[in-house]
Amino acid sequence: MLAISLRSAYNLCNSTTEFRVLRVGGSIRVPKDSFDAWLYRAA
């Protein structure tokens, strides 16, 4: 969706407060509704 590298996606998740980022064990999860709201607000 964002056309960015995996490393850039991790950096975005670690630095943003614009959408919710959930850490479960070693995984990072982003709720779809939170991400979609951020994506369409930025467009």
> What's this model's pTM, rounded to 2 decimal places?
0.77
Mind listing the pLDDT tens digit for each residue in 1-43?
889 999 999 999 999 999 999 999 989 999 999 999 999 987 7
Give CA separation, 29 vs 23, 26, 43, in Å.
6, 10, 22
From residue 7, give the alpha-carbon distance in Å to each of 2, 4, 13, 28, 30: 13, 8, 10, 13, 16
Give the residue carrying structure tokens 């064990």: 25
In this predicted structure, what is the pLDDT of residue 23?
95
H/E element, 41: helix 32-42
What does the alpha-carbon distance between residue 29 and residue 10 come to, in Å, rounded to a whole number?
A: 11
Question: Which pLDDT score, from 0 to 100, does residue 35 have?
Answer: 92
